[in-house]
Amino acid sequence: DRLPGLLRAMPKAELHIHIEGSLEPELIFALAQRNGLTLPYASVEALRSAYAFTNLQSFLDIYYAGASVLLHEQDFYDMARAYLGRAARDNVLHAELFFDPQTHTARGVAMETVINGLHRACQDARTELGISATLILCFLRHLSEESAFETLEQAMPLLDKIVGVGLDSSELGHPPEKFARVFARCRELGLHLVAHAGEEGPPAYIWSALDVLKVERIDHGVQAVHDAALMQRLAQDRIALTVCPLSNQKLCVFPDLADHNLGKLLDAGLAATVNSDDPAYFGGYINENFTQVFAATGLTAKHAYQLAFNSFEASFASNADKRVWE
């Protein structure tokens, strides 16, 4: 079977990776030691064995705890540089990194510490690995609109270091329209817009992400299959869905990877892509997501080509970056 080799070698863009979700247990322990922090886990193995999730919230609780070891600019740099090295080995040519500043600013870490560390890693990856990498600031939807506006205010002096904004964290009970005014402001500022919608939440959240927030891509979006009119809209407007198969499996969105609807989305003409979401927590980087979902659901080389094509088409890469792929 030549398909796994093709999937791994295929050039691709990664559009849905939370950089805090790339923090491996080994790096969490190393940063804790460097920063003089004590973790509530005795060892790397003990921490890793706590990674058994039943839904999105059960993951988020442990994910925010893991991110608490990040204090200094160098910590953010080391995390992002490690991910970009790993992505380059998976033949990722372009990556758009989500980050959650409120997780850090709430602990007293300055916005510029976060953004400057991540941005420097993106710049070094460009020269050292030939990979283009950009940043998307995500607002935490379980927090208030006021907190999101305050976060945007803190990022204003650093806006040239981010390409867009997103919306993540606990989906149920926090519909996109809660952030209508913040997203309108970001749109005026010329930022690209994306939002998590239809991961655990209903198709209605995908509709409001599109029509109220006016996002250009939907992160996850797998619940769209329950709404035929929405499927048509997504296909017609070529709204990309950044699908994360191993995440969906580990957070019990699908009982089994074999039940994943990626093939259904592609066959309905939607611009789906494959991504890793939080690879340190869900058991695999982007190539592992490709090989496992293809093996479990019987997708073909034609689907592989579509997924790679979609990832480049849906990216927010600059024309200069695009010239490198062509």
Task: Name the site residues for ligand ADE (rule: CB under 6 A).
Answer: 18, 21, 56, 63, 168-169, 196, 199, 247, 277-278
Residues with Cβ within 8 Å of residue 30, at least 6 apart in sequence: none
Secondary structure of residue 259 in the 3-state scheme = helix
Q: Is 227 annotated as belonging to a binding site?
A: no
Name the minimum Å distance from CB 97 to ligand ADE: 12
Largest Cα span, the chain: 54
Determine contact, residues 223/204, Cβ cutoff 8 Å: no
Q: Which of 135, 134, 94 lies closest to 111, judged by CA?
A: 135
Q: Is 226 annotated as belonging to a binding site?
A: no
Q: Is 18 annotated as belonging to a binding site?
A: yes
Nearer to ligand ADE, 63 or 179 (CB): 63
User: Is 177 a catalytic site residue?
Assistant: no
Secondary structure of residue 166 in the 3-state scheme = strand
Name the minimum Å distance from CB 81 to Zn ion: 21
Exactly one of 199, 216, 288, 326 is catalytic; name it: 199
- The 8 Å CB, 24+ separation contacts for 154-162 are 154/101, 154/105, 154/111, 155/101, 155/111, 155/115, 157/112, 158/111, 158/112, 158/115, 158/116, 159/189, 159/191, 161/115, 161/116, 161/119, 161/135, 162/115, 162/134, 162/135, 162/136, 162/137, 162/191
Name the minimum Å distance from CB 283 to ligand ADE: 14
Structure tokens at 176: 């996109």
Q: Is 16 annotated as belonging to a binding site?
A: yes
The residues annotated with a catalytic role in the active site are 199
